[in-house]
Amino acid sequence: MAHPVMFSPDDPLLARVRRIALALPEADEKVSHGRPAFFTLKVFCYFGGSVGVDGEWVAHDAAIMVRPDPDDEPALRQDPRFWVPAYLGPSGWLGVDLTADTDWQEVAELIDASYRVTAPRRLVKQLDED
């Protein structure tokens, strides 16, 4: 059974995330589990996610989920803006909501770090050379 689509293709927040993610070397987009996923060989960013709270699913539709830089992960886990997503949390993923006050430079840095954690070395090298 296919997952229902859980985003609007013309969402302005998604458009901003898309511009950041797709600017990275060989990045592409697909829909995975009903949400936009940005990837090279592995996914490095999802738009939207959810958390399990007391047996219920709480959607975070205006959010990104990323794999943080291992050096930054402990501090991000202490930041109350970040949450541990359902299913992906045990693999080191974190989510953060996108709001009117979003620092888009920080979003770009989070996506860049996640790309570096997941992308093949040759693509990270290409990113550093660009």
For the cut 90, the answer to whether the pLDDT of residue 8 exceeds it is: yes
| Tokens coding 60 | 């975070």
pLDDT tens digit string along 57-66? 899 999 999 9
Helix (H) or strand (E) holding 27: none
Closest CA to 49 of 70, 35, 31: 35
Please provide the average confidence, as pLDDT, over all residues in the chain.
95
- pLDDT, position 80: 96
What confidence score (pLDDT) does residue 47 get?
A: 98
Say what the pLDDT of residue 1 is: 66
Residue-range domains of the chain with CATH: 12-124 (3.90.1150.30)
44-58 pLDDT, tens digit each: 999 999 998 777 889
Q: pTM for the whole thing?
A: 0.95
CA distance 116 to 69: 8
Rg (CA), the chain: 14
